[in-house]
Amino acid sequence: MSKNPIHIIGGGLAGSEAAWQVAQAGVPVVLHEMRPVRGTDAHKTDGLAELVCSNSFRSDDAENNAVGLLHAEMRLAGSLIMSAGDANQVPAGGALAVDRDGFSEAVTKKLEAHPLIAIQREEVPGLPPADWDQAIIATGPLTAPGLAQSIAEATGADALAFFDAIAPIIHFDTIDMDICWFQSRYDKVGPGGTGKDYINCPMDKEQYLAFVQALIDGQKTEFKQWEGTPYFDGCLPIEIMAERGVETLRYGPMKPMGLTNAHNPTVKAYAVVQLRQDNALGTLYNMVGFQTKLKHAEQVRIFRTIPGLENADFARLGGLHRNTYINSPTLLDASLQLKSRPGLRFAGQITGCEGYVESAAIGLLAGRFAAAERLGYAPSLPPLTTAFGALLNHITGGHIVSDDEPGKRSFQPMNVNFGLFPPMEAPKTEGKRLRGKDKTVAKRHAITSRALGDCRQWLGLPAQAAQAAE
């Protein structure tokens, strides 16, 4: 079998983790990082795995939080990013936050010291050459223009995005269906539809006018200077539409035409907020047309004034920002390999995941998959019940493509969250019926317990060794 090196482009969190996993499997690696030969608008150093924004890896609670569960699974898989994070932890309550300089230095030193890893400081201006038969592109949101152009040419003009235009996504089981109802506008069935494909949240005139004013008055985030202002009519932020006139939203994403309130058929809603199923599991729904630059706390406050969403739990909040990523569900196979070019994989944020930990986790998987193929094995995919598998499935196949908006990109980056996992019922307690928050907590404990057990089995860890790894 060939022991030619696997080439990895990009020395961020995903590329660094991928390189580590490949080398730990006994396969040589060439890690290509363009800094300091070519800098970016956001990076300040030439260190590998530099954290350009927050220094937090978010919650480290593996029992109650999906990202904490991902931390635990990565530790079980021998993650370099997690070991460096743990070694450089700073006080942050229940979160894992790190000394950013110490963290980057630790990752850089580990990679430089590994006998199977060669680090080349150079820009790779285009797609890997044909003689790089196994390669991983892990260049993230700040992909160099030349490489980005090559990816666009190889994948199609509409397959590479440079900005997120993200609407909030809500956990289905937190929507009040005593107020909301299922219906497509004019009961349109459409391809794969039933005529009841949207959840509808009705507003009367007073509620609508107050909502529009709240959007206008709400605190917004600003674009960083290097991002520019990518507004175009196809993805205007909801608050920008509100500023164009009080009736704009009623004739746009909140139009009430063609909808009849199933709970009160004789009363016509003045405006309607629609939610569309976002994943194949049916556990997540997105707010149609609600991409926004409102600050996160403002989104929660304002959007919970929508009838039926008073107790909404958001799987992710909206945003509009620079983020180079590909349309992974159509381009990549289940092992993150480009369907049109076997041996070329993508990893990290460019695949359509959000967050430091998620990016590193996808790098970890891409590295393991590439190493397996180099060693002559078929890649072993993580179970869908694990955090690894849930995140991978969202990227490569769990997302629903909108049939009623042909040509429009509907795939959006996302953090790991419990809505991506196959659902579980809360375990029954003898003599006690769980409700509300207690039921939600019990469900999450069941999901995390199942995930860790399945992850140990996937990794081939005996129970005692797995406990020690945690």
Determine whether 350 is exposed, middle or buried from the number of CB atoms within 10 Å of its CB (0-12, 13-18, 19+). buried
Element (H, E) at 31: strand 29-33
- Annotated binding residue 14: yes
Find where tokens 């539409």 sit. Answer: 241
Rounded-to-integer distance, Cα 95 and Cα 330, Å? 34
Q: Is 12 annotated as a binding residue?
A: yes
Q: Residue 67 is which amino acid? A: V
Query: Phi/psi at 198 (nearest 5 deg)?
Result: -120, 150
E strands, 34-134, where? 56-59, 89-90, 95-98, 117-121
- Tokens for 74, please give them: 């990565």
Which residues are bridge partners to 182 per DSSP?
A: 199
Tokens of 424: 């579980």
H or E element that contains 446: helix 436-459
Integer angstrom CA distances of residue 57 from 94, 296, 330, 384: 11, 18, 29, 23
Burial class (CB in 10 A: 0-12, 13-18, 19+), 435: exposed
CB 161 within 8 A of CB 325: yes
Dihedral pair phi/psi, residue 170, rounded to 5°: -120, 140
221 three-state secondary structure:
coil
Collapse the DSSP code of 365 into the 3-class scheme (helix H, G, I; strand E, B; otherwise coil) and give the result.
Answer: helix
Residue with tokens 């223009």: 145
Instruction: Count CB atoms within 10 A of the CB of residue 206.
Output: 9
* 10 annotated among ligand-binding-site residues: yes
Beta strand 117-121 with 29-33 is parallel
Question: In this structure, how many other beta carbons lie within 10 angstroms of the beta carbon of residue 88?
Answer: 19
Q: Which residues contact 1 (CB under 8 A, 6 or more apart)?
A: 374, 375, 376
Measure the CA–CA gap between 95 and 234, rounded to whole angstroms: 37
- 181 DSSP β-pair partners: 200
Q: Residue 287: in which H helix or E strand, if any?
A: strand 284-287
* All residues at 6 or more sequence positions from 465 whose CB lies less than 8 Å from its CB, including other chains: none
Known binding-site residues for FAD equal: 10-15
Known binding-site residues equal: 10-15
